[in-house]
Amino acid sequence: MGAFSDRLRPYGNTFRMWCAGMLICALSLSVFCSPAFPQSATLTIYDDQLRNGFLDESASWISRDLAGTQVVHSGAFSIFFEPEQWQGLVLSSSLDIDVSDYPWIEFWIHGGNGGGQHLWLDIYHGENAEGRLDLNSILSQGAVPAGEWERVQVSFDDMGLTTGLFNSIRLYNPGSDNEMPVYIDDVRLVNLPQINVSPRRYYFAVNLIGSSGASDLLISNNGLADLNIWDVSLSDPTNFSLSLSGGSDPCSSSLPMTVSPGDSCTMRVTFSPLSEGDFSAFVTITSDDPRNSTETSEFTGIGSISESENEAVYDNELSGEWLFTGWPCSNGMLPAHNSTATYTGRPGSVLEVVHCDGGWGAFVLDRRTESWDVHWMYPNQYKSLKFRFNPGNNLEGIDTLQVSTGAAYVSDTYLRKYTHTEMTVTDHWYEVTIPLADLLINGERFHSIVLFNSSEEARPAYYLDDIYLEWIPDQTPPILSDMDVTIGATSNTAAFQWTTDEHTDFIFEYGINDFSVGRIISPTYEKVHELTLAGLLYDTTYQYRLVVSDHQLDTAVDGNAVIREGTFTTPPIPTTPPAITAIHIPEQDIKWNRATICWQTDRMADSKVFYGVHGFSSQAVDLTPVVDHCMVITGLLQETTYQFYVVSRDLFDNQAESSPLSFTTAAPGTHDVQFMIDSAEDVRPISPYVYGDNYYDYLGTGDMGAWPGSAHNLTLLRLGGNRWTTYNWENNASNAGTDWYNQNDAYLCSDPAVCDTPGEAVAARVETAHDSEAAALVTVPIQGYVAADKNADGDVAQTPNYLTTRFHVSVARKSGDLSLAPDLSDDTTYQDEFVNWLEFYLPDGAIFYSLDNEPDLWAETHHRIHEDAVTYEELVGKTIEFASAIKDIAADAVIFGPVSYGWYGYVTLQDAPDRNGRDFLEYYLDSMKQEEDITGRRLLDILDLHWYPEAMSSDGRRIISEETDPVIVEARIQAPRSLWDSTYTEDSWISQSIGGPVNLIPRLHDKIQTHYPGTGLAFTEYYYGGCGHISGGIAQADVLGIFGREGIVAANFWRLCSDCSFCYSAFDMYRNCDGADNGFGDISISAVTADVGKTSVYASLYSGDTERMGVLAINKTTEWLDIETQISHVDTLVQAEVYQLTSVSTAPERIADITGILNNSFLHTLPPLSVTLFRLEKESVVAVPGDLDNDGDRDYSDYLEFRPCYRSCDGAPNFRSEADLDHDGCVTINDYRILRTLIFR
């Protein structure tokens, strides 16, 4: 088949039916030897009769008449035919027709009285189908019209036929039941005009009022017929003017005008602003081009009373505070650049940019201060971006190049749109002017210029020069909105909100009779402003004055200011109690052991419920001021009637209390989920090193830092990350690569007094870990270069020969004697000497060794020292070389590798050049096993990987963000299942690529068992997001339980959060639930939940305490869950301490103990989104509850001990914690009932 064969494939049956109907069998055979038609403006096929050698070759049984008179468009006749299913009209020529000579077909069509017929138009060359169009897709009524003629104009290009020959036109019914007659008339092949207007958008930049700027508007006819222009209009004739016959090649001075095929002419647009401001005008051209009958070009400009000025960004070299950076491409690399390139047509240096393979990515010019803070620029003065652009020797990829500031996403800012002349040739310097208003659609401030490749395939390469920002003095004051003043709930605070139409700072002053009480000055320029005044007097009128000023480039010039004055009055102190209304208990919230009581108050107040069976001896308290109150009361007795009343105290100490009410708890129903615990199954030790962390926080000069893990009793501090790839232990210098501008600096050791001491950055961290009785995992650089200096002067590539001047060579072994005082003058760093130093000076705690960091990304993160992608062979070679050197110094050293960044690294080493279809981890493990088989020494002890989940929410967001809406919370909470659950398939590119569950840990254990048995598994970086929210805490707790149960050797949390409270509290649930370093056990045992979607459960024994068992339960739902826990254990467990992490508190809290457990089974309720730790005990573990006289039993003498404590609370001299049997802080009637039950049991 011909050029259209691929497009016919979906219609294979249709094509075969056409052949069966013999509609193509009558084609003339002369087409194979006949010449083509000569070109002319029009080739008529039918007007009253077939012309130019066209024949009717329709099937003989088709009812048709080529001289029909029933309905005629022009002349005397028309074609009539009845389109039976899969049949129709065939008009063929004995001559070939070149589509480039006649690119359009035109005819008129009529559907008779009924209309609605469905027709396809096909174009054939011999027996080859070349193009097809469903006519209904272009007809105005979506079908053949009834009772009227409609003109049809079809471009063969739209039918898939762009070049080549054809000789047959077919109109047929593609299976429709409507076979009513159709009429065709005035069929012809035509050459049509094709209008092209350039520029489509032009920016005049800044013009002084009274001056003018002009631009040509080029009108071209790229078609094969005359272009008739009927009308030209200008939308703003006040500030713009249009000359039809202006410019370099003037058009006609009058309308209509004609532009011949292949010809062009110019009109002239002039911008002459009459006032200050931004102006735009549209030139609209109406022509007889059937595809684009209306073309529009936009002209914009700024009227100003002051001359504009140009601020250089790049002119032979990068200016001032500007620096080069970028956004990674899809392969992780950054676009490359050369700031000292040369190119024909420009004097001096130009800027060469080459985008990386893999698509996307951006080249960025970023503006920073000397202290590396963002240098903001504001659109009240900056008006346009100007530069020269050269596409080099090809235009490939230029169409996908977008310009941005990074401050806002605008979809249609392609570079091609802003060149002064149309970009059609290579090796040419084009002038580009872009109004910043196009890039800053809401007037955002900005600090960068971005050239973004919006394609996943293209790789633009180009040259830039003379990059300038145009700005003008701003003498227009900002517009200030109305002031929104809100008096706070305490009546002694006031919140102010206002907006300005441009970025401003402000000075706010206030007082009672003047403005002397307070003065607030904003530190930044914003468009949305707010402030809060506190400590105000009650029942007092204040006056205020607000001054807002816009930003000025010239710091010696005051900003344009607006002043607003006003007053506000604070209310008097309320003296009446808040009103309590709408007390209710939703029926569905009364359970066997809990109830939810709700009410409302007319102002902010706290929440208290007093309740009991006989009286009101128990209470639930929430001191958070609200107006809608709901309190969940737990620990209730089943099928019992309780009395209660509610109390709310407002912020002014006015208290209201309700009348007593009552409710009755339900009978125990069926549990929601069952847990099964078996201490004889799946028993394995939990590695102490799964509770690890990466971060080390500086405390200031003189105190090198603190490890947050020490506050949570964590067990492993890792010294890892991109900086450690280039860490020089001799002088503590490092380079974070693209994490921080490829800069050498002293970040790892901020105190100058000790920063030149060899190894100080490591020593401070390792000693902190050892002081906390934790181990340290130290990174040994293996890439080959380490930072030579701590200059902190930006990208090292700005230094000529930077690899030899800004870095030292790093090698595995020193040929001579090792020294504890390294030679600082030899420009070489020896890693065996580093290990020897560590082992000598820090012998008192465990130190493990990690072989560098994420080598699969070296070419992206550390492109300055490793330009090419790492290979399988290279990484294995370095692993063997450096691991051997380490074990030569410390034979028992535990070595971690390869420290891969993620899934694509595991599988392909980030698409390494020598991959050859091999799985990287399998190759790596095989290679390390082979090395051990040869040398008899294991060099790799732990397979070390990083895991940042790729799991997505149902609406396509990655779960490791800090977002906490319900959709992403659900995905985050379920994501840990991908670590182990072979039935769970997450939504991610990984699961899609492998066609099912990730099942990560079992998958990796299988690789280890197959390729290098005995190797441990570690995840020394991981993060699940949302750490400032309970969902992050739940995911973290789940992950820690999985790591312990699945035999992970080591794991280190990587802190991507600013608020990490819930994630660290998840650690506390395992390591420090009571603030005394107690928590979960260290021996994992079998724990199974009946519903892994709703819950997780982990169980443990304690090697140092045989009387205890730990069960950690997670409720992943937003509902309360009743859990039945069945335990198979050699001992009888009778009670449990209970610790809980919920959304209410960012730290674990101890709640009421469980007592009276029978037959190692108990029923308990888990709050929504919670983590609960049960520390179960045999009866002999602690003092017998209720045994107040400590005689080993509970009897009347214990009651006598209880009486003096009755109605006392914690802190009272007669309070005894042993008498507080429900652990609510007070000895109440409820404690008495518990004691009575215990005595009579």
pLDDT tens for 508-527 read 999 999 999 999 999 899 99
CB 809 within 8 A of CB 785: yes
Q: What is the pLDDT of residues 894-928, one digit of tens each?
A: 999 999 999 999 999 998 999 999 999 999 999 99
Q: In sequence order, what are the residues at sequence separation of 6 or more whose Cβ sits closer than 8 angstroms to the Cβ of residue 575?
A: 652, 654
Per-position DSSP letters for 133-173, written without gaps between them: EEGGGTSTTSSPPSSSEEEEEEEGGGGT--SSEEEEEEEEB
Sign of CA dihedral 1004, 1006, 1010, 1015: positive
Q: Is 868 exposed, middle or buried (0-12, 13-18, 19+ CB in 10 A)?
A: exposed
Whether the upstream peptide bond of residue 10 has omega within 30° of 0, thus cis, is no
**CA atoms in the 13 A half-sphere facing the CB of 343:** 23
**pLDDT-derived band of residue 686, with 50, 70 and 90 as boundaries?**
very high
Distance CA 454, CA 360 (A): 5
pLDDT at 22: 31
pLDDT at 19: 33
Report the C-alpha gap between 898 and 135 in whole angstroms. Answer: 61
Amino acid at site 1101: L
Confidence at residue 586, expressed as pLDDT on a 0 to 100 scale = 82
Tokens of 405: 């500031």
d(CA 323, CA 365): 6
CATH topology of domain 691-946: TIM Barrel (3.20.20)
By mean pLDDT, which of 371-385, 540-554, 869-883 is the weakest? 371-385
Give the whole-angstrom CA distance, residue 1051 versus residue 853: 15
Q: Output 707 or 310, whichever has higher pLDDT.
A: 310
Checking if the pLDDT of 1140 tops 90, the result is yes
245 pLDDT band, cuts 50/70/90, is very high
DSSP 17: H
- Phi and psi at residue 421, to the nearest 5°: -125, 155
Res. 427 pLDDT band, cuts 50 70 90: very high
The closest alpha carbon to 98, from 123, 127, 122, belongs to 123
Structural contact between residues 1171 and 1066, judged by C-beta atoms closer than 8 angstroms? yes
Q: What is the number of helices (H) and of strands (E) in the chain?
A: 17, 65
pLDDT at residue 662 tops 60: yes
Fold agreement between 484-569 and 580-669: yes
DSSP characters over 461-525: EEEEEEEEEEE----PPPPB---EEEE-TTSS-EEEEEEEEEEEEEEEEEESSSS-SEEEE-SS-
594-612 vs 618-634, strand pairing mode: antiparallel
Number of other residues whose CB lies within 10 A of the CB of residue 677 = 25
End-to-end CA separation in angstroms for the chain: 93
Percentage above 90 pLDDT, the chain: 71
Backbone region of residue 313 per phi and psi (left: phi > 0; alpha: psi in -120 to 50; beta: other values): alpha
- What's residue 134's pLDDT? 94
For residue 1135, pLDDT over 80 is answered with: yes
| Cα gap 720→1158, rounded to integer Å | 49
Mean pLDDT lowest for which of 1-10, 746-755, 934-943, 1091-1100?
1-10
Class of domain 484-569: mainly beta
195-304 is classed in which CATH architecture? Sandwich (2.60)
Write down the pLDDT at residue 21: 34
The number of beta carbons lying within 10 Å of the beta carbon of residue 586 is 11
- The pLDDT of residue 4 is 30
* pLDDT confidence bin for 132, thresholds 50/70/90: very high
Alpha helices, DSSP H only, in 956-1107? 966-974, 989-994, 1000-1011, 1030-1045, 1061-1071
Before 843, cis peptide (omega within 30)?
Answer: no
Percent of the chain scored above 70 by pLDDT?
95
DSSP 8-state secondary structure symbol assigned to residue 1101: E
Report the relative pairing of strands 847-851 and 775-780 from DSSP bridges.
Answer: parallel
What mean pLDDT do residues 24-39 have?
Answer: 37
Task: Give the pLDDT confidence of 793-850 residue by residue, as tens digits.
Answer: 888 988 999 999 999 999 999 998 999 999 998 999 999 999 999 999 988 889 999 9
Q: Are 555 and 517 in contact (CB under 8 A)?
A: no
Residue 193's nearest CA partner among 219, 218, 167 is: 219
Cα–Cα dist 974/702, whole Å: 44
Q: Which residues contact 908 (CB under 8 A, 6 or more apart)?
A: 915, 920
Mean pLDDT across the stretch 1063-1080?
Answer: 94
> Which is more confident, 457 or 950?
950
3-state secondary structure 1108-1173: EEEEEEEECCCCCEEEEEEEECCCCEEEEEEEEECCCCCCCEEEEEECCCECCEEEEEECCCEEEE
Q: Considering only 595-609, 733-747, 1003-1017, 1179-1193, which range has the smallest mean pLDDT?
A: 1179-1193
Question: In angstroms, how far is CA 1000 from the centroid of its own chain?
Answer: 23
Q: For residue 854, indicate whether it is catalytic.
A: yes
Q: Which of 1038, 1028, 1037 is nearest to 1061 (CA)?
A: 1028
For the chain, the average pLDDT equals: 90
Q: pLDDT (tens digit, 9 = 90+) per residue, 275-287?
A: 988 899 999 999 9
Instruction: With beta carbons less than 8 A apart as the criterion, state whether 83 and 171 touch.
Output: yes
Q: Which residues pair with 618 in a beta bridge?
A: 611
**pTM, full prediction:** 0.64
The ranges assigned to domains in the chain are 5-190, 195-304, 309-471, 484-569, 580-669, 691-946, 1196-1240
Does residue 951 carry a pLDDT above 90?
A: yes
The whole-number average pLDDT for the span 481-489 is: 93
Lowest model confidence (mean pLDDT) among 420-429, 972-981, 1095-1104: 420-429
The secondary element (H helix, E strand) that includes residue 886 is helix 872-889
Position 368 confidence tier, pLDDT thresholds 50, 70, 90: confident
User: Residue 1178: which of 1079, 1086, 1101, 1123 has the closest Cα?
Assistant: 1101
Question: Which pLDDT belongs to residue 365?
Answer: 94
Domain 580-669 has CATH 2.60.40.10: yes
Residue 194 has pLDDT above 70, yes or no: yes
pLDDT above 90 for 1047: yes
The pLDDT assigned to 808 comes to 97
Reply yes or no on domain 5-190 having CATH 2.60.120.430.
yes
Dist CA 67 CA 52 (whole Å): 17
Q: Of 57, 470, 854, 874, which is the active-site residue?
A: 854
pLDDT band of 24, cuts 50, 70, 90? very low
Neighbours of 454 (CB within 10 A): 18
Q: Give the pLDDT confidence score for residue 1197 in this predicted structure.
A: 83
**Residue 752 banded pLDDT, cuts 50, 70, 90:** confident
CB burial class (10 A; 0-12, 13-18, 19+) of residue 252? Answer: middle
Tokens of 1081: 């056990």
- DSSP letter at 1217? G
User: What tokens appear for 130 in the block?
Assistant: 């070349």
- 293-311 tens-digit pLDDT: 899 999 999 999 888 999 9
H or E segment to which residue 286 belongs: strand 277-287
Name, in order, each residue with C-beta under 8 angstroms of 771's C-beta and a sequence gap of 6 or more.
710
Separation CA 1123–CA 132 (nearest Å):
65
The residue whose two tokens read 């097809």 is 132
E strand or H helix at 925, and its extent?
A: helix 920-935
Looking at residue 1178, its pLDDT comes to: 87
Q: Which two tokens stand for residue 30?
A: 């002369």
State the average pLDDT over residues 594-617.
93
Distance between CA atoms of 1013 and 818, rounded to whole angstroms? 34
Pairing mode, strands 1016-1022 and 942-947: parallel
CA dihedral for 882, 883, 889, 895, sign (positive or negative): positive
Element (H, E) at 1237: helix 1229-1240
Look at residues 1171, 1096, 1175 and name the one whose alpha carbon lies nearest to residue 1141: 1171
- For residues 614-622, give the mean pLDDT: 90
Question: Bridge partners of 830?
Answer: 811
Q: What residues are paired with 1110 via a beta bridge? A: 1100, 1175
- Among 490, 494, 493, 492, smallest CA distance to 603 is for 490
Q: Which residue has the higher pLDDT, 210 or 691?
A: 691
309-471: CATH architecture: Sandwich (2.60)
